[in-house]
Amino acid sequence: MFNRVTSFCRKVLNLKDNERNFSELVPLVLPRDEHGISRKDISENALKVLYRLNKNGYKAYLVGGGVRDLLLDKEPKDFDIATNATPEEVRKLFRNCRLIGRRFRLAHILFGREIIEVATFRGHHQSDAEKNTSSTSSDGMLLRDNVYGSIEEDAQRRDFTINALYYGVDDFAVRDYAGGVADLKDGIVRLIGDPETRYREDPVRMLRAARFAAKLDMTISKETEAPIQHLAHLLKDIPAARLFEESLKLLQSGQGLNTYLLLRELDLFEPMFPLLCEHFTEDMSSKTEQMLEIVLRSTDKRIESGQRINPAFLFAAMLWYPVTIRAEEISFESGLSYYDAFMVASNDIIDEQVKTLAIPRRFTAMIRDIWLLQLRLGRRTGNRAFKLLELPKFRAAFDFLEMRGEVEGGQPEELANWWRVFQSAGNDSRKTMLQDLNKASGNKKKPRRRRGPTRRRNPQANKEA
């Protein structure tokens, strides 16, 4: 099979990007017996959509990451479909359909919690001003892109060769228009078209290149990587809400640590986290960098074991040392107590970070809770330790305290060890631990002075007097 694939790819890749005519190029078609994709590995809901579109006379294919992952024997995260039906035509066929998007109109077909995304084949930008429904900025960034076309044009408009793969249920074949199958075999992430032009159209493609390379353990091709560092600044023009969503895909992919290291190498980390880059060193030895490595490695392990993860915890850990350093500066300059300075610093850091990543309020509230509990976990006397255990965010705060112990040692490490024992101890043991703590701190509970009963005054006596 791969001999056929390699021959096809040489035919495609030997052409210069601006000379490729995908509409005239015969795609590589891998029949059912030459690939490992089986319908049993595809979502039943995605198959329903494909069959209904075909039944009503439309062409429809499973496309992109779903086909890529199936060919790599990986479980796809989602299943996207490309068709020659317009979004309005798709909506007529499915009552459970809603249309979204301004930049490019998409149909979302809802099956409970599963969403099957259906996109109409994209076409080339039209020169006719009356028909042109695309729009670009002065930097070449696509602002609106509702131009429909053929499957060949759609393949050319996709970002990477490994995503320009189409699987149909009419013949169970895989169609490859850009040499994606060979690049999968060789472990190469390669852009379709001129890299600088494609990055200017959508700078997020630079982040996607890094994510695919780290997630799939591939190498970015030289021509695809070459323009990234001098175009990285274009990410500052991307809406903060979109960058937040991309940051989750990057850091919560199961390969977050490797992705972070690659982003730093390509100068793509700074546009998303400028606050963190102020604390970076050449030997990656700062507390911020140590914490980043610890929390990302922990996140990767949790994803691998199927455990739940919360973005708020990740961001709380990443931004902790910028907060504490800012708090110390504010306290020194203003004379505020450290606690008050910390509250001011936490608001400042979050306000600055959301300018580049629009972290939702539900997450920023939890970030603040985790931070504030770091100040409270050291106050354990009396009934405070028992009350802290009952707080909803205690577990997250404790997990973060353990990470701080790894970085700082000393008092945070001792405190984390104490809380670890206290959580698993019985009630009597807990009381003993608190008594020992009180003795060690010299905080002996003073006996309350008993007061005798107050005598009731006789109002009548006062009256007679």
Q: Taking the alpha carbons of 291, 293, 296, 300 in that order, is the dihedral positive or negative?
A: negative
How many other CB atoms sit within 10 Å of the CB of residue 244? 20
Which one of the listed residues 17, 41, 78, 399 is annotated catalytic?
Answer: 78
The two beta strands, 219-220 and 188-189, are parallel
**H/E element holding 298?**
helix 287-304
Distances 359 to 250, 260, 331, 368 between C-alpha atoms, Å: 15, 18, 27, 13
Q: Which residue has the tokens 């984390």?
A: 416
Single-letter amino acid, residue 6: T
DSSP SS3 for 329: helix
Which one of the listed residues 80, 154, 176, 183 is annotated catalytic?
Answer: 80
Contacts of 436 (CB under 8 A, 6+ apart): none
Question: Helices 361-376 and 394-408, interaxial angle, to 10°?
Answer: 60
**How many whole angstroms separate alpha carbon 323 and alpha carbon 345?**
6
Q: What are phi and psi of 148, to 5 degrees?
A: -100, 155
Biggest CA–CA distance in the chain, Å, is: 119
Single-letter amino acid, residue 208: R
Question: Would residue 340 show up in a list of annotated catalytic residues for this protein?
Answer: no
Distances 240 to 127, 204, 292, 310, 459 between C-alpha atoms, Å: 32, 12, 21, 19, 72
Question: Helices 311-318 and 287-304, interaxial angle, to 10°?
Answer: 160
Question: Would residue 80 show up in a list of annotated catalytic residues for this protein?
Answer: yes
Instruction: Report the C-alpha dihedral over residues 196, 200, 201, 205, rounded to 10 degrees.
Output: 80
Question: Would residue 348 show up in a list of annotated catalytic residues for this protein?
Answer: no
Which one of the listed residues 69, 145, 154, 159 is annotated catalytic?
Answer: 159
Q: CB of 422 within 8 A of CB of 385?
A: yes
Contacts of 30 (CB under 8 A, 6+ apart): 1, 173, 174, 175, 176, 181
**How many whole angstroms separate alpha carbon 366 and alpha carbon 384?**
21
Active-site annotation, residues: 78, 80, 159
